[in-house]
Amino acid sequence: MIPTAVYDTNVVVSAVLKPGSIPASLVALALAKEVRLFISPAILDEYTDTLKSAKFGFDPDTVGAFLRDLEQAAVKVSPTQQVTQAPHEPDNRFLECAQKARAQYLVTGNKRHFPFPEFEGTKIVNPAQFARLLAG
């Protein structure tokens, strides 16, 4: 069975910043459809805004191609229930996506924004934990 996941923006940014890193390998698995990655319109917007921000200085054409590939590989869902569990309000979009998709995992490098081990059946793990689970 293919594992199902939602990736927090910090996982995607780390993948682009550090080729060869654990986050990069997790994104590669999603692109290869060895992990069923779920995204929502709000998550895609956040990925886009973050990767295209001047803060990182990524080449816009490279970012555009990467995001198109990621969007094609991912399964898009449109959450209908509003969630208010995360202390950092924008992080609720990831919980909403995970809830709608019934994803097994929410992968984040920032677990303090998700101070609970699980949300409605979705386990919240960091990239290293998810990589170990996949290798397991």
User: Which domain CATH number covers 39?
Assistant: 3.40.50.1010
| C-alpha pair distances (Å), 110 with each of 8, 70, 88, 125 | 8, 21, 11, 9
Predicted confidence (pLDDT) per residue in 14-69, tens digit: 999 999 999 999 999 999 999 999 999 999 999 999 999 999 999 999 999 999 99
State pTM to two decimals. 0.97
Tell whether the model's pLDDT for residue 116 goes beyond 90: yes
pLDDT at 87: 93
**Residue 49 and residue 132: Cα distance in Å, rounded?**
30
pLDDT at 91: 96
pLDDT at 136: 85
CA 71 to chain centre: 12
**Residue 130 and residue 52: Cα distance in Å, rounded?**
26
**Domain span including residue 128:** 4-135
Structural domain total, the chain: 1
Predicted confidence (pLDDT) per residue in 81-100, tens digit: 999 999 999 999 999 999 99
Sheet holding 75-76, edge to edge: 75-76, 36-39, 4-7, 105-107, 122-125, 118-119
CA 76 to chain centre: 12
